[in-house]
Structure 1
Amino acid sequence: MGFVIGTIGGGLITSGLNWRWTMLILFGIGVLVMLGAITVVRETTVPVRTRLDVPGAILASGGLFALVYGVSAPRDPPVPHSGAQSHVLRPEPGPA
């Protein structure tokens, strides 16, 4: 329900005023939510020092890299004489 109201409300604000007004309203809502969270939510547990999940961090980093590369990689196959790394370091210019 919030998605529907937010989408319609954002569209009305954007079409009636400007997209900057949407950002201003969202900033105000974010400030109100943060203030509410600070005043309402209380810490209920004793802080415990935890260890870094190294395998999880490596897997998450690799997965995010693969996702970003898959989205940003060119759709056409690379030129036969260029390596796959050339697309990452030096992307080919797209159509103008």
Structure 2
Amino acid sequence: MDGSRIGDAQNTEESLLAQGYRKYTGEDIDIYYNKDICAHVGNCVRGNPAVFEVGRRPWIIADNGGADDNERVINTCPTGALKFIRKN
């Protein structure tokens, strides 16, 4: 799944927030998460537990991983509950 898009449209902050995603800000990449569509498959926490750690608040810290690795992990989310916007 392409975490930079919803359907055929490129992600925008406005569209993601309007659809119920929560923003987790990073220096090079912002990560967005929608709890209402998450199926808790766990690809994120297995993919990079330094970025995605369920027992921590906030549970997503984008700067604990590189933008390329974050994008790779987000693209493994089967439900689209994770999205991203690169800043560069």
Whether the TM-score (by the shorter chain) exceeds 0.5 is: no
Kindly name which structure, 1 or 2, has the bigger radius of gyration based on alpha carbons.
1
Q: TM-score range by the shorter chain?
A: under 0.3
Structure showing the higher helix proportion among its residues: 1
Structure with greater proportional strand content? 2
TM-score normalised to structure 2 length: 0.18
* TM-score, scaled to structure 1: 0.17
Which structure has more relative contact order (CA 8 Å, sep 6+)? It is: 2
